[in-house]
Chain A
Amino acid sequence: MDALDKLGISWQLLLSQIINFGLLMVILQQLLYKPVLNMLEQRRQRIAEGLEQADKASNAAAEAEAEKQTILEEARREAQEVRAQATRDAERIAQDVRSRTDQEAQEIRMKAQADAEAQTAAVMADARKQIADLAIAATEQILGRELANRDEQERFVADYLAQQNGSGS
């Protein structure tokens, strides 16, 4: 006990130091460690959240960009299509118009030809008739008398003319 006394150790002081430490620990636990560790945890979560949000935002931006690209692509493709369609339509219409015009022209030409042919035929028939008449008249004059069988004569001349015409053309 004397040695302990020389070293200044006494059970009262020892006990007071133990109690002091215990109290200090309890006080600091409530005052310092808990709030600080809570704050650190809170901040850690906050930072994690912030990073996550930033990630999300950048993802959304990338998505929006991709969507924009697809929409643009779509629009471009549609425009291309519309243009192609328009070109095709125009060509078709032009074709139509051209073919109809051709057809009409053809028709007109055919009609004109038919008319001309009919006219020619009529003129020819007329001419033949006149020629036959003239030929008969001329023959009558040459013969000095009227042919008896006028009808037969006329037919004869017409046959001849028709034969001429047929071999001539």
Chain B
Amino acid sequence: MNLLRALVLNARIRNATIGIIVLLVLSVVPVFKAPPPHVELAAEALLEHGPKWFTNGLLTTLLVDLIIILMAVFAVSRMKEIPGAWQNIVEMMVEGMWNLTQSIAGHGSANSRKFFPWVITIFIFVLISNYIGLLPGFGSIGIYHSAAESHAQAELGNQLAMVGAEAVAVAAAAEEGKPVLVPLFRSPSADLNMTLALALISVFMTQFFGVQALGMRYFTKYFKNPFKDGMGAVVGFFELIAEISKIISFSFRLFGNIFAGEVVLLVMAFLVTFLLPSIFYGLELFIGFIQALVFMLLTLAFFTMATVSHDDHH
């Protein structure tokens, strides 16, 4: 009873309730109905007859580069002892990352200075890549290609669209003969080339820093004389496998989170056009930040671990 009275009497609650109801009703009106989700696992070539390498993922990567560099230039170009608002924000971020790096790699250590550019660049690049995919227009603005060309990819996309029979049916119907929309932009994090590249860089630099710190002794982590230390040789073999599987876990963790997030947003927009996607946008903002932080922290932790000799511990 109280709730009902509040609904009627409190103007703000009443207006909000009316707004929610109107939006939900509008969501089922066919005019406002969102198109079935267009799910593409791979980044697509933008030009139908152009080079295959010119994908929407690549274009967006360049856009991300541009945004990051512009943000840096705006913060640093008129750098002052007493910072302006933007300079302050950027300084806060750089200092936060610097302190985080130091807290893991050692305060004021040479390692901290060596690792810092790698991990902060990973963080910034991944964060902006994750967030740029949430901008309106991503996935909705694009170029129409003839259907036949991307049919094979569309098939895979359909397999991935796990939103129930209805959605798949609609999507499948849409694919038949109709031209396919290739989005102009695609979040670089939802492009396996980018996540795999970062994973390769992370794992390769881990080995590099390890060798730099310990010399050839570093590889005794993986290869031990099986006649002297049989158990150690087995463990070393597993270490080697774990190291290689890091490439996969790094790349697919980031790709999976961001790609799945975008699919979830599309599906939610398809099911209920209004309101429901907003909730998931908040979730995606959170996930985007967490994934950037996770990638950065794991890389930093692996770098630091690689520079520590294992023989000293045992």
Contacts and interface: CB of A to CB of B under 8 A. Distances in A.
Given A8-B55, A8-B191, A24-B121, A18 B81 contact: no
Contacts of B42: 5-9
B117 A33 contact: yes
A21 interface: yes
B196 interface: yes
Contacts of A14: 193, 196-197, 200
Counting chain B CB atoms within 10 Å of each CB, the highest count among A13, A39, A43 belongs to: A13
B90 interface: yes
A18 B203 CA distance: 13
A36 to B, nearest CB: 4
Interface string A9-45: 1101110111011101101110111011101101100
A98 interface: no
B90 A21 contact: no
Secondary structure of the A side of the interface?
helix
B75 A24 contact: no
Contacts of A43: 81
Given A24-B68, A28-B117, A40-B91, A12 B81 contact: no
A28 B53 contact: no
A31 B95 contact: no
Q: Interface size class for chain A?
A: 20 to 34
B303 interface: no
B256 to A, nearest CB: 12
Contact of B120 (A7, A9, A33): A33
A26 to B, nearest CB: 8
Given A7-B192, A13-B53, A14-B193, A21 B117 contact: no
Contacts of B57: 8, 13
Q: Which of A12, A22, A27, A36 has the most CB of B within 10 A?
A: A36
A5 B192 CA distance: 11
A111 interface: no
Contacts of B81: 39, 42-43, 46
Given A17-B194, A24-B121, A36-B76, A8 B43 contact: yes
Contact of A18 (B94, B117, B197): B197
A28 B201 contact: no
B58 interface: yes
Interface in B232-288: none
A17 B55 CA distance: 12
Interface in B192-216: 192-194, 196-198, 200-201
A39 B79 CA distance: 8
B235 to A, nearest CB: 31
Contacts of B125: 21, 24
A8 B121 contact: no
A21 B197 contact: yes
26 contacts: A5-B42, A8-B41, A8-B42, A8-B44, A8-B191, A14-B200, A16-B58, A18-B197, A20-B65, A21-B201, A24-B65, A25-B117, A25-B118, A28-B120, A28-B121, A29-B121, A32-B76, A32-B90, A33-B117, A33-B120, A35-B76, A36-B94, A37-B94, A40-B91, A40-B95, A46-B81
Given A7-B42, A28-B124, 11 more contacts: A5-B42, A10-B52, A12-B53, A13-B53, A17-B197, A25-B117, A28-B120, A32-B75, A33-B120, A36-B94, A40-B91
Interface of B: 41-44, 52-53, 55, 57-58, 61-62, 65, 68-69, 72-73, 75-76, 79, 81, 90-91, 94-95, 98, 116-118, 120-121, 124-125, 152-153, 156, 188, 191-194, 196-198, 200-201
Interface of A: 5-10, 12-14, 16-18, 20-22, 24-25, 27-29, 31-33, 35-37, 39-40, 42-43, 46
Q: Kindly list the 7 A-B residue pairs having the minimum CB-CB distance in the complex, ordered from nearest.
A: A8-B42, A17-B197, A13-B193, A32-B72, A25-B121, A36-B94, A18-B197
